[in-house]
């Protein structure tokens, strides 16, 4: 499906921003990705969902070559990252990544966290880097925290700083790997809001998330992975509310109502070995 969500035109190129072809990745004899084919159009938001261990992080990490694919091809903006002759540092600058852990430098200010990579990696001069930092802090609603240190911020604010840091490098594509999973529930919303705004501005995004309401509302497409393959994909609303595959249905049931599945699975292990009754209230 061609994407028209972006702010700008496609500048004469109809190629998807991200193209993944026949991607395999093994760690030793652990065959984690088993033939992934996926396109993400310019300005498109694709949410990747699936059980733990299904290869979602490995897929994202292969897209910016943090992991080297065992076979297959990855193109970003028409450049083949898996070409051995590619300038991988240059190619990677076009890709911003946001992790579950924010990885901010604790000993420098928020502004320093945003200017340092620009100066080191891009060679941006000090004034320009500071201006870009201000602009992106403003974008994530944290202009007032420019001089704060990470420890003075909530987890949600730190993750917004991490997003602003990635944006300060001027990426064409943003990859998010469970960006809200380490956050207290009340802080999830502010991070998702920032991501929603980015999506609205036309950023090309791949988002690994368990936030189904976000996926439904913001994603153009949802991809369900299991066992290193894409089991199904389609418009967010369809995959989340009317999945075609049994495996997708089972996964969604567990994500949407975790208590329903986890409790019985652990029950047998709770049987007291010495014949004593379990303590009242189920505490052990």
Ligand X SMILES: Nc1ncnc2c1ncn2[C@@H]1O[C@H](COP(=O)(O)OP(=O)(O)O)[C@@H](O)[C@H]1O
Closest CB 58 distance from ligand X, rounded Å: 3
3 state DSSP class of 20: strand
The reply on whether position 57 binds Mg ion by CB under 5 A is yes
The reply on whether position 68 binds ligand X by CB under 6 A is no
User: How many residues make contact with Mg ion (CB under 5 A)?
Assistant: 2
Cα distance between residue 180 and residue 193, in whole Å: 11
The reply on whether position 112 binds ligand X by CB under 6 A is no
The reply on whether position 52 binds ligand X by CB under 6 A is yes
Closest CB 210 distance from ligand X, rounded Å: 11
The reply on whether position 58 binds ligand X by CB under 6 A is yes
Share of the chain residues as helix, strand and coil, in percent rounded to the nearest 5: 40, 20, 40
- Residue 32 interacts with, from ligand X, Mg ion, none (CB under 5-8 Å by kind): ligand X
The reply on whether position 58 binds Mg ion by CB under 5 A is no
The reply on whether position 204 binds Mg ion by CB under 5 A is no
The reply on whether position 27 binds ligand X by CB under 6 A is yes
- Residue 30 interacts with, from Mg ion, ligand X, none (CB under 5-8 Å by kind): ligand X
**Which of positions 200-219 make contact with ligand X (CB under 6 A)?**
none
Cα distance between residue 244 and residue 184, in whole Å: 32
Among 7, 9, 11, 30, binds ligand X (CB under 6 A): 30
Residues in the chain: 284
**What is the CB neighbour count within 10 angstroms for residue 126?**
10
**What is the CB neighbour count within 10 angstroms for residue 227?**
15
* Residue 86, both tokens: 């590619």
Closest CB 177 distance from ligand X, rounded Å: 7
* Residue 159, both tokens: 């993750």
The reply on whether position 54 binds ligand X by CB under 6 A is yes
The reply on whether position 53 binds ligand X by CB under 6 A is yes
The reply on whether position 101 binds ligand X by CB under 6 A is no
Phi then psi dihedrals of residue 155, to 5 deg: -60, -40
Cα distance between residue 208 and residue 100, in whole Å: 10
């Amino acid at each position: 499906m061609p994407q028209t969500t972006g702010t700008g035109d496609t500048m004469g190129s109809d190629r998807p921003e991200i193209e993944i072809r026949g991607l395999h990745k093994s760690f030793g004899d652990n065959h984690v990705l088993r033939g992934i084919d996926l396109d993400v159009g310019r300005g498109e938001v694709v949410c990747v969902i699936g059980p733990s261990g299904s290869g979602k992080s490995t897929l994202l990490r292969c897209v910016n070559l943090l992991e080297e694919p065992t076979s297959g091809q990855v193109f970003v903006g028409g450049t083949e990252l898996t070409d051995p002759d590619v300038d991988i540092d240059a190619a990677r600058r076009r890709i911003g990544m946001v992790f579950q852990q924010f990885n901010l430098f604790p000993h420098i200010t928020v502004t320093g966290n945003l200017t340092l990579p620009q100066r080191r990696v891009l060679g941006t001069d000090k004034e320009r880097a500071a201006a870009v930092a201000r602009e992106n802090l403003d974008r994530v609603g944290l202009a007032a925290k420019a001089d704060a240190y990470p420890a003075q911020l909530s987890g949600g604010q730190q993750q917004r700083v991490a997003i602003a840091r990635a944006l300060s490098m001027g990426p064409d594509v943003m990859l998010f790997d469970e960006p809200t999973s380490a956050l207290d529930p009340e802080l999830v919303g502010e991070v998702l809001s920032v991501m929603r705004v980015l999506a609205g501005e036309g950023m090309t995004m791949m988002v690994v998330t368990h936030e189904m309401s976000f996926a439904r509302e913001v994603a153009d497409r949802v991809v369900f992975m299991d066992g290193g393959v894409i089991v199904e994909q389609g418009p967010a609303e369809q995959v989340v509310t009317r999945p075609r595959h049994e495996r997708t249905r089972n996964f969604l049931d567990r994500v949407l109502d975790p208590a329903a599945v986890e409790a019985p699975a652990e029950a047998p292990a709770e049987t007291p070995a010495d014949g004593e009754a379990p303590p009242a209230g189920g505490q052990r």
